[in-house]
Each structure stands twice: as structure tokens, then as C-alpha cells.
Structure 1
Amino acid sequence: MSLLSRLFGDNASDPNPSNYASTRLTSSHTQTADETPGVLLQIQPHAENQGMVDAAGLLQSVHDVTTNFRGKNTSDSHTYELWFDGERIRFFMHAANEAAADKFRRRVGNNYANSAVFEAGGEGFPPLEAGEYVAGARLSLARHYYYPIHHFRDGEGFERDPYGEITSEMLSTEETAVVVQVAFRPEPANWTDGGWHGESVDDVAEGLRDGHVKGWINPRVRDASSKEKQSAKIVEQQRGQQAFSTNIRVLAASPNQTEAEARARGVAGMFVKYYNATTEQGFVAESVSDARTLINDVHSRAWSDREMILTVDELASAAHIPNEEIETPRIDWKHTQEGSRVPADSNKSETR
């Protein structure tokens, strides 16, 4: 499979792709905030914030790794969630337990000044009704996770916040729900060492600099290209970086089959903006055919090892609270300056 196909899926060459076929639900799937495992926090961010920079600060402050006596990573996983519930786009964080929730309340408040953070009341996930169509996707990486995706501190940055297009793709009809859910678990400091059977980042960087054997009749070593040398330097910089093992999933549900499939395809497709041309690394959107498994995963806030480890700056770029520069309408902004909190049972919010 070509790199273009890996990154963009069949959509890269097919003007009428069918790889986001939806499933029609035969029963309703609902979840209240009380039924949600752990603690679901809603965030009403102040419209003036530093976006990805603030997200990086938040992630650094919650990078708490725990291991057992054998050194196995036993850290809890948490989620960042972005919902369009038919009315507005809202922001959530799910904490595995109350202790983590308390930390998130304080750290979100510290990093996103004047934002409101409160325990979600009412729905723990947008309701999915019988007869609706569900389409979805999971993201993975085109290459090994030592090769970083494009992020806001990689020397090029972003001309515009990619969340402008992601949130715009999420907007739909009042009967449609669209969710981006990012589950993340902190990795130990030695995540770049390669373990017992894998290569370390130093091994990979050395291999990129060593050049390649070319030809089989008269074999000769081709010197590493300038792009390979630059990629080696970027890979080496991963050592010592804090990182999280990550799952990213997209779910769209609507009574309109075409709309559900278009929103899943469109939102997942916007993540290709994180493609790093030097390292040839980017997200691969894989459509999900098993709607029941996808619903179970989003409801349980499941984390699994998908071999997608992102550094703080990478994850902050892919999962952050944007600011009003994205200009997307119907965002759940908080425009007042005081740091007042919204009551836990309140569903009132400000939109633009």
C-alpha cells in the first residue's frame, strides 16, 4: 500500500468512497454522567487562551506514571473529548478516579485561565437512538511512533490551528451527534529505549544516517539524503520527552445515513493536517465497521495499546482546547473574566 493510501485511505483516489459505511442501530444506547466510569468533567474554556501551548502545560502537569514491582506500566488512562450534540460543540475530560479528577480541576484551571471546570451533569455521552446510523474511525500512525507527527513546536508550527477545520467538520444538523475522543496513558521515561527486542531511537537515527545499499548487480552504498539526516535529528530529539500512549476515535450518529458517514469521514480526514513531510509521519484513519464495539469503547473510555505514542507537544497539538481564533460558530465558550464555576447540574452555557 502506498504512503498516500496509508495516510488518506481510499479517499485519496476514489471520489465516491464507501469505506465509511455506517451501521443502523436496532436499539438505543444512552449513558448518564452518573453511569460513566470514573469522573466526567465538563470544561467551558475562556475564549482567550493559548490553545496548544496551554494544552502542553496541562499534559505535563498530569504526566504521572505508576509501575508495579516488575516495572510494568500500571498508570491510569484518561480521555479528552470534543462533542457536537446537535446544539453546540462542548469540551470534556474524563478522569479515571476522583483523585485524578481533582487534579484535572486544579490543573485545567491553572493552565486555562478564567475557564470553568465542573463535574458534568445529565448526559455522560450524546444519546444514540434506535434507527440512527453510526459511522466511525480510529486513528493510527503511518510509521513507527519514533517518527513524530507535525506539531506546534516542530520548527514549522501551524499557519492555522487544525482544530478550526476539525470543529467545522463536526458541525451538522440538530439530530446529529459527532464525537472526537482521545484516550491517553502516560509512558515511562524509557519509552524510547526499545525494550528487550526493539530498536531505540538512537538505533533508528543511526540507521537513517548510515545510507543504503543500492543495486544488486553492482551494489554500492548510497549516502543518506539531507531529508534522512534531518529526520534522524528529529527522531533523536524524542529521547527524554514525556509521552503518552494514545487512542483517537471518531464517532458520528444521525438519522440521515449520508450525514453520519460524511461527518465521520470528514472529521477523521482533517487529522491528516498533522502530516510531517520530513519524517513522513501522519495519522491513518481506519473506518470502524463494528458499531457496537465502537460504542462500547467510547462509553467505557477504553484504552488499548495501539502502538501510538505521542510526546506532550504532539498530543497537545492533536487534543487541545482551541481559542476563538478558529472562528467556528456554536462553540461553548466562556466570555467572562472571573473564574466562577458552573454548578454540576447545570446545562447552561455560552455560545457564539
Structure 2
Amino acid sequence: MLWYRAARFRRKIDWEEPTAYTLLCVSVPKNNERTPQAAEQMFAAMHGIFRSSASEQPHVSFEVVSKAHAINFYAYVPTDLRDFVSSQIFAQYPTVEIKEIASDADYTQLGEDKHLAATELDLKKPTAFPIKTFQNFEVDPLSSITGVLGSVSEQEEVWVQILIKPIDDDWQDLGKSEIKKLKEPFKSLGLWQLAKAELKTLIFGLAKHTIEGPPGEEKKKEEKKKDDKDTPESAAIKAIEEKITKLGFATNIRILAASTDEYSARAKLEQVVGAFKQFNTINLNAFVAKDITSDREAHQLFTSRAFGESNMIFNITELASIYHYPSLTVATPTIAWAGSKKGEPPANLPIEGTIPSDDLTVFGQTNFRSEVKRFGIKKKDRRLHMYIIGKTGTGKSTLMENMIIDDITEGRGMAVVDPHGSLIQHVLEFIPENRVQDVVYFNPADHEHPIGFNLLENVDPEQKNIVASGVVGIMEKIFGEVSWGPRLEYILRNVILALLEYPNSTFMGIMRILTDNAYRRMVVNGVKDPVIRDFFINEFEKYEPKFRTEAIAPIQNKVGQFLSASTIRNIVGQPKSTIDIRRIMDEGKILLADLSIGKIGEDNSALLGSMLITKIQLAAMGRVNVAEDERRDFYLYVDEFQNFATESFATILSEARKYRLNL
């Protein structure tokens, strides 16, 4: 018996030549305000896939699926028509998201433990008679269907497939034929039926004449006009005439329910079929379900979406009533709504392929309307600097990582200052073989191979005040407002300026010049600046011991704290730097500074990072004697900018651009 029903279910399937098809998932935003009229226009445009040859005519399947507590909407389309169908959906529903589903992720895969019940819908009357359309509903008819689908349990699933194929206007002759029958009902009757009909009319006419008397001619015309207007036949004629004025589609409607037992599957199927009865009308047309089959061979129909020989022809209004995308009036909670609204990329967005790769840094991609385009920022815009703001976890470091990788790939010079270390570890994985020799990896936590970094080394006389301001700014940030004061800044600035004029000075000299009288005199003897000499000879040397101790104690406290750590001392205590920042910039090398707070501490990370940024600033300003068009662009990335923000950053933002240092 089951085999017989399955055979009936499949017997009229039009097994077409194999055609490549694509499954699209259409997600609608919850605030969608488009009415079923939008779907009507969509189906009208879909008629454009009509082919004069029946053997070449493709079809499209619009589907609603409830599975795993989620209702999704799909479109199964010929691959060569995917863009056309997508464009028509977007034309009427601009805010939807369309995603292509891989063939191995098709929802029609059904577990062996599932029992199924499947059926097809048919029409009770000839297809020329229309069903009830959305204009005659007070609420969205989709709500009834999604309401049933929304009640599906975790173990159940329901599939509704509406396959449509555009047809030519010859189908309208079916409507004209039905209209003719309604207007001339007796011509379709036999002689005996005709005699009975005439006799019945005569008897009712005599009875009415006896009771009411002979009507006047005017009254006869009015009554006849009223009777013609109010009869079911006249209403049907009007409905059919309206239906055949619009484009038509041959249609298959298939429904499958699956559950852990056959009874539940059949019960759920009957509920879905019942939801379609809302389109039934007494005098026009109505949906009826064909035989229900539980044979798993019927599952093949839903997987293949093969188009069957159809007796149902719907116009675009009827199709829009049966299938349209939900709006905010559909309150079914399990509908898989689209996420946040996606905006269309601006017309002047720098797209990869439209701009030379050496002039574009690619860091992202758009997926508006499923069209993926990689974009970035132009070189001239990067010279204006970038400041990336966002709360934790929103992708600031990821954005920088993408830009860094693009710079590395394109052979650009760049430096990364990372207080976490994770960013640099990710970047190291993307260093191509041809750029391995360009990498300078600065890792203060490497005790066995400490890199020399001396901010006071070989400073140009014109830049001494900049260096001193940079160091003072670093210390002020680390000291904080509580410990900082004008006297402390005054002493520290003169100490730095004095050490800058003494050969082979390092940060170690800051502590020594304050406490070692002999060393201080030796340094001061080499100072040529009269103001600095006067400070040490006529002011600092004349401080009372107690006053001097109080004045230099804060400096000793903070600077001593840094220098007491062997990690920092081994780096800043070397007179000769092993990192040539100017060479790195001019030759387009890669400097990666791993200043992980977890490895060297927060204060040490802030100190080294600020010193490194100041050194990079000085190297950039040293390009003043190089023609501007010959200065090679160098890109400085600073993660967690606030950890290293000093007044030097203000200088970089205002002046470094002309030296091709881009922050």
C-alpha cells in the first residue's frame, strides 16, 4: 500500500535533464516593513526566466523550513540564474541577506532514525478559479503557516517547497472557458437536465408572480441587474477575470514532516496542510491534500526538487499570498531573522583591483548582498594617521593585524609596538620567506640576548631639547600627577640635557649624576651650554644636603625602580644601540617590539614603548635633509595607545607626516 502511494506521489514527475542548481538562504531583518505586494512584484519579475521551449524552461523552488527550532526561508535556483533571482529578491526586499548554502549543508538531509510523512497539495476546482489572496486577509496569512512551523519540537522538522515555472499566456484560455460555462450554464447540460432547469424556473416564476403580482418593466430590469450582480456565478466570473489578467506560473506545493515516530510526523503534516486551508473560499477554489505517503522514496522528490506535471496555475498575486517574506507583523519567535542591517559600501570606497596594490592597504571586506569585495585605505590617507577606537573585543587589534600583514606582503617598512605580545605572535606567522631577513624582533624578556637601546646616543644638537622633552614626558606619565612637580621636572630636564652632551651616556647616568660628585663634575666639564653649566655649578652644587636629598628622592625612586630590573638595565645600559631605527625606516625593514606587560611589567613596558616611539620620531625628523619625494613611507602601529601616549605623540601627529612617518 505504501509503495502504491509513493508511486502515485511520483508518477507525474518531470525528470528534466540535469541542471546545476544552487540553494540560497534568505534572511529577513525583523523590522522588515515590506508587504506581500513586494512579493507580487518579485514574482512578476521572475517571469522573466520564461523560455519558449518547454524542455529548456527552468523552475525555481521557494521554501520554508522549520528545523532545530528555527524557521528559515530558502530559494533553490538554477546556478546560471542565481544572480538574476537574487537581484529580484533584493529589488523588493533591499535589507535581506542572501547566503549560498553548500550542497553538503542542504537541509534535506534526513537522518535514518526519522519517520516521514509527505504529500502534495492540489486544487478542488479547476485551476482557473482563484484562491483567497492577501488583499482579503485582515492579518498576514504567513502568520498561520509560520505559527504551525514554530511549534515544531527539537526532534521534528517540516519542509514546505513551492516550485514554480513560468508559463505563456495560453493558460488564460482556461479561465475564459470557465467564464463561458458560468455565463451559459445550460449549454453544458443534457436535454433532460435542461428540461428540468426550465421547468424549475417556470414554477418559481409563477409562484413569485402569484404572490407579488406582475412587476413593472423598470422593476424587472432592476431585479435582473441585482440578481446578476449578486449571484455566486457573477462573483466567480469577476474573480476569474481578475486572475487571468496577470502572469501565471505552473506550481507544485509539497510538504514533508519528519519526526521520531510515524504518528507524530503525520500529525504535524496534517497541521501544516490545515494552515493552507485559510486560502480556501466556498464559491471559488480550495486546497486539498493528495494521498499521504510515509515511504522514504518520496524523500528523493524533496532533495531533487524535480518539477512534477502540475494542474495548479497561480498568478503572481496568489503566489505572493502563499509565499512572501515575513514582516514585523509576523510575530513567530522561531523565525531566523537577519542580524544587524548592512549598509551599502560607498561608491568611492577603495576596492582591491581598482587601485594599484602599492597604493592600497587592504584590511577588510564587504559582503553587502553576498557580493564580497576587499577594500582598504589609500597611502595618502594613511599619511594623515589613524586612531582606532572601540571597546574591548570589537576587533581593534584584528584590524591592525590585517593592515600589518598587508604591509608585510607588499614590502613596506613598518614597526609594531605591542604591550600584549599576542599581536606580534600572530604577525610572525605571516612573515613570508622573502622578508625574514628584514625582521628586527625586539624582545626585552630575552635575557640571553639583550638588545642595546640607548635613547641618548649620538643625538643631533638640534634635537637635544626634543629628546629631553620626550624623556621628561615619559617620566611624567609614569610618575603620575601625585609625585610630579615643577622642581622635579626642572632637575630631570637639566640632567638629561647634560648627559646628552657627554659621550657614551646612558640612562644609567641619571642616577649617577645625582649621587656621584666626581662623575657629575666630569659630565659638567664637558657641557657647553652655559645655562646647564650654571644650573649644576651655581645652583645644584649649592643645595643644602637635606634639600638636595628631598629634591632628588622622587627621581631616584622611579628611575632606580627601572634600573634595578636586570631586564631593563641590560637594554638601556648599553652605550651603543644594536637597533638602527633610521636604517630600518630608510630601508623598509620590519621592527616588532614585543613589550608584553605579562613578561616585563606594566611600568617597564610603558617606559620602553615610550622611549622607542621617541626614538622613531627622532629618526623620522632626521630625514629633513632628504627630498620629500625620496622619503620612504614608514608605518608605526601602536596597540593600546593610551599606555604610551606622551607629548611626543602630539609632535608625531603634527609634524611626522611630512617626514613620511605614518602613525
- Bin for the TM-score computed over the shorter chain: 0.7 to 0.9
- Taking structure 1 as reference, are residues 210 and 73 closer, same or farther at Cα in structure 2, changes over 3 Å only? farther
Does residue 338 (structure 1) correspond to residue 345 (structure 2)? The answer is no
Does residue 285 (structure 1) correspond to residue 282 (structure 2)? The answer is no
2:69 aligned to which of 84, 87, 94: 87
1:325 aligned to which of 312, 326, 329: 329
Counterpart of 1:59 in structure 2: which amino acid? Answer: F
- Taking structure 1 as reference, are residues 343 and 268 closer, same or farther at Cα in structure 2, changes over 3 Å only? farther
* 1:75-106 CA distance string (max 9 Å, x none): 2111001111123000100102x221111111
Does residue 115 (structure 1) correspond to residue 96 (structure 2)? The answer is yes
Does residue 42 (structure 1) correspond to residue 20 (structure 2)? The answer is no
Deviates more, 1:221-230 or 1:117-126: 221-230
1-structure distance, mates of 2:333, 2:197: 62
1:204 aligned to which of 165, 169, 178: 178
Residues 37 and 300, structure 1, Cα contact 8 Å, conserved in 2: no
- Taking structure 1 as reference, are residues 66 and 263 closer, same or farther at Cα in structure 2, changes over 3 Å only? same
* 1:281-305 CA distance string (max 9 Å, x none): 0111124325334211110011112
2-structure distance, mates of 1:303, 1:127: 19
| 2:257 corresponds to | 252
- Taking structure 1 as reference, are residues 325 and 217 closer, same or farther at Cα in structure 2, changes over 3 Å only? closer
| 2:141 corresponds to | 162
Shift in Å, 1:261: 1.6
Residues 152 and 317, structure 1, Cα contact 8 Å, conserved in 2: yes
| 1:295 corresponds to | 299
| Structure 2 unaligned residues grouped into runs of 5+ | 7-18, 202-226, 344-367, 373-663
Higher strand share: 1
Residues 134 and 141, structure 2, Cα contact 8 Å, conserved in 1: no
2-structure distance, mates of 1:218, 1:285: 34
Counterpart of 2:179 in structure 1: which amino acid? Answer: A
1:77 aligned to which of 54, 59, 62: 59
2-structure distance, mates of 1:273, 1:73: 35
Higher helix share: 2
Q: Which has the higher contact order (CA 8 A, sep 6+)?
A: 1
1-structure distance, mates of 2:294, 2:56: 28
- Structure number, greater radius of gyration: 2
| Structure 1 unaligned residues grouped into runs of 5+ | 1-18, 24-35, 194-199, 345-352
Residues 248 and 313, structure 2, Cα contact 8 Å, conserved in 1: yes
2:87 aligned to which of 102, 106, 120: 106
2-structure distance, mates of 1:227, 1:162: 24
The number of residue pairs the alignment matches comes to: 299
Shift in Å, 1:41: 0.6
Shift in Å, 1:217: 5.6
**Identity over the aligned pairs, expressed in percent?**
24
Residues 142 and 330, structure 2, Cα contact 8 Å, conserved in 1: yes
Does residue 180 (structure 1) correspond to residue 154 (structure 2)? The answer is no
Residues 73 and 188, structure 1, Cα contact 8 Å, conserved in 2: no
2-structure distance, mates of 1:80, 1:277: 27
- Taking structure 1 as reference, are residues 319 and 326 closer, same or farther at Cα in structure 2, changes over 3 Å only? same
* 1:88-129 CA distance string (max 9 Å, x none): 000100102x22111111111111121101211352124311
For the aligned residue pairs, the C-alpha RMSD in angstroms reads 2.7
Shift in Å, 1:335: 4.8
2:241 aligned to which of 214, 236, 243: 236
2-structure distance, mates of 1:278, 1:215: 23
Residues 134 and 321, structure 2, Cα contact 8 Å, conserved in 1: yes
Counterpart of 1:282 in structure 2: which amino acid? Answer: A
TM-score for both structures, normalised by structure 1: 0.77
Shift in Å, 1:46: 2.0
Shift in Å, 1:238: 2.8
* 1:122-171 CA distance string (max 9 Å, x none): 52124311232101221000111110011124xxx211122212112123
Counterpart of 2:268 in structure 1: which amino acid? Answer: R
Shift in Å, 1:277: 3.0
